[in-house]
Amino acid sequence: MSKLRVVHYINQFFAGLGGEEKADVKPEIREGKIGPGMALEAALGGEAEIVATVVCGDSYFNENMDEASKTILDMIKQQRPDLFIAGPAFNAGRYGVACGAICKAVSRELGIPAVTAMYVENPGVDLYRKEVAIVKTGNSAADMRNAVPTIAKVALKLARGEEIKDPAAEGLLEKGVRKNLFVDARGSERAVDMLLAKLKGQEFTTEYPMPDFDRVAPNAAVKGIGNAKIALVTSGGIVPKGNPDSIEASSASKYGKYDINGVIDLTSETFQTAHGGYDPVYANEDPDRVLPVDVLRELENEGVIGQLHRYYYSTVGNGTSVGNAKKFASEFAKELKADGVDAVILTST
């Protein structure tokens, strides 16, 4: 019996090309297995072999998604694979988005099983979990040892055409698809059993998990707005011309802090957007449309607000993970508080 042919997708980092300085690498294909593919092929046992590995830089893919997807799909198709595996991406946002997008394209266009793996807070999960088989991993590559065997097990099951009846038990993130099942106990009995277990402090698994929303209670209104120091924060990607901090167009891993002391108006000659998730034309023509420095200066001059804080903070919301967003905010919130800022206006796209 011949082995299953597998094509593996990884980013520039796991291919050993480098980090952010190589994130613009265009798609390329290499024969056989490289990087994590070595452990993956071992976990697949004698049933499958990685015949080729596709490599692409995270920034290149996310900034050229349509073109990159087509190129990569053509590369994969030429290998005549029986199975496609991407990642694992863990909590790397742009990598996760790429893995999800390619798996979706492979499933739709080539009609072969496709599997990827990532941390639950990776933005790729929200974007592709309903259409792609995603193995649940830890937050970082430190979980590689646990992730690889699970990926291999799920991939082989899908390649054999076996049904995944219990995604959680198989290590997969649920797609949110509900199926009718026949069970021994009626619904009322199961509900009472779960209630009793909960009252006794025993473990139980709900049959209808509810979404976990991170609710933030609003602060009280600012008293004396005419004396307040107001700061601007944006996820719209407004940065000084040239994007000096190289904030990514998607799945940002950083934010910038910029001095606008004495700046009355944001112009196309001095500011731009780094955001890749919306048409940048209007934002680049007048960056005040996203970060309203001009209006805040007017309110400052009229005495409606006390003053505009001399620094603003900016990142890109496009595909950025919740974990990174929280980390950014926790860092610069301390600076804002230390600088005596009374309120923040948060703008998006």
Residues 229 and 163 reside in one and the same domain: no
CB of 22 within 8 A of CB of 67? no
Of 126, 149, 170, the residue that ends a domain is 170
pLDDT of 1 reads 61
Number of domains in the chain: 2
Q: Which residues contact 248 (CB under 8 A, 6 or more apart)?
A: 23, 59, 62, 94, 254, 274, 276, 316
Q: Which structural domain range is residue 152 located in? A: 4-170
Q: Using alpha carbons, list the distances in angstroms from residue 27 to 1, 60, 74, 80.
A: 32, 8, 11, 18
Q: Read off the pLDDT of residues 57-113 as tens digits, 9 standing for 90 and up.
A: 998 998 888 899 999 999 999 999 999 999 899 988 889 999 999 999 999 999 999
Burial class (CB within 10 angstroms; exposed 0-12, middle 13-18, buried 19+) of 56: buried
Please indicate, yes or no, if residue 322 is contained in any of the structural domains: yes
Asked whether residue 134 falls in the same domain as residue 13, the answer is yes
Asked if the structure places residue 213 within a domain, the reply is: no
Residues 160 and 237 in one domain: no
> Greater confidence, 18 or 293?
293
> How distant, in Å, are the alpha carbons of 183, 184, 237, 269 from that of 187?
9, 10, 50, 65
Last residue of a domain, one of 136, 155, 170: 170
Comparison of pLDDT for 178 and 139, the residue scoring more: 139
Q: Does residue 217 lie within any of the structural domains?
A: no
For residue range 223-257, list pLDDT tens digits in order.
899 999 999 999 999 999 999 999 988 878 899 99
Shared domain check, 230 and 321: yes
30 domain residue, yes or no: yes
Q: Kindly state the tokens that stand for 23.
A: 């994130």
CATH number for 87: 3.40.50.2300
What is the rounded average pLDDT of the residues 289-299? 96
Same domain, 145 and 258: no
- Chosen domain end from 170, 196, 213: 170
Residue bearing the bigger pLDDT, 242 or 21: 242
